[in-house]
Amino acid sequence: MTFEEQFSRIQAMFSGSGCDIILLPPDEEKAKKVRSQKGDFSPLAAVLAGTGGVSVNGMLRLLGSGTVDFFERNQRLSETGMTVVAEDVFGGIFGLGRDGTLLYLAPDELAVEEFGENYDELLEFVCSPEDMERFYRDYVRECPGVLFDQLPADKGVSLYPPLWEQSEEKRSAAAVLITQLQDVEIGVMKKQAGDTDGGAEE
């Protein structure tokens, strides 16, 4: 498909969904570079070429070429071992494995798990109010009073105690830069990995 054909298909999916989906404006210079590619456009390439990111229910953001930046995220989060394609406000990170499988770095487990077969499944997920509600129900329960639709596109929800710590006490929530939230998670993962392999990392 051309960019126009693929992007029109995706826009139709968004328009027909019951979710609150907002297309963020792209950085035109970055988007033009993606649009200049030859050959068929994949769904991911079309999102990168046509948006600066896509906000879904204020909770999940597909990466684009702009505010929620695919290129910045993949440079900074290369240690995840996947091509990062989306993130949620709880610190979860969606990515593609080398074989194109859709993966999810869960903020409560701090582990990467299989989520679906490909990027198309992510698009189908974000267009389903039922799937979104079911998947995020437990996380939302930990964030009473948080107005997700009012969070800026560069912010996430930092919880204390954090989701990866089992706790019976009520968690407090604060809006922080999503990049800061992700960096803390990656740091904890690295520390845990270092502890597991006998402290090889200083």
Report CA-CA distances (Å) from 109 to 11, 53, 93, 157. 33, 26, 12, 16
**For residues 62 and 85, is the Cβ–Cβ distance under 8 A?**
yes
User: Given the structure tokens 């126009």, which residue do they identify?
Assistant: 4
Place of tokens 């950085």: 27
Rounded CA-CA distance 40/7 in Å is: 12
CA 102 to CA 123: how far, in whole Å?
11
Please list the alpha-helical segments (H only) found in 36-177.
43-50, 70-76, 119-126, 129-141
Q: How many CB atoms are closer than 10 A to CB 45?
A: 19
Helix axes 3-16, 43-50, angle to 10 degrees: 90
Please give the radius of gyration of the chain, using alpha carbons only, rounded to the nearest integer.
Answer: 17
State the 10-residue block means of pLDDT for the chain, 202 residues long.
95 96 96 93 97 97 96 94 97 96 96 96 97 96 91 95 89 94 93 66 41
Confidence (pLDDT) at 202:
40
pLDDT of residue 192: 85
Report pLDDT for 18.
92
Hey, how many other C-beta atoms are within 10 angstroms of the C-beta on 36?
A: 9
Name the residue among 147, 145, 122 with its Cα closest to residue 135.
122
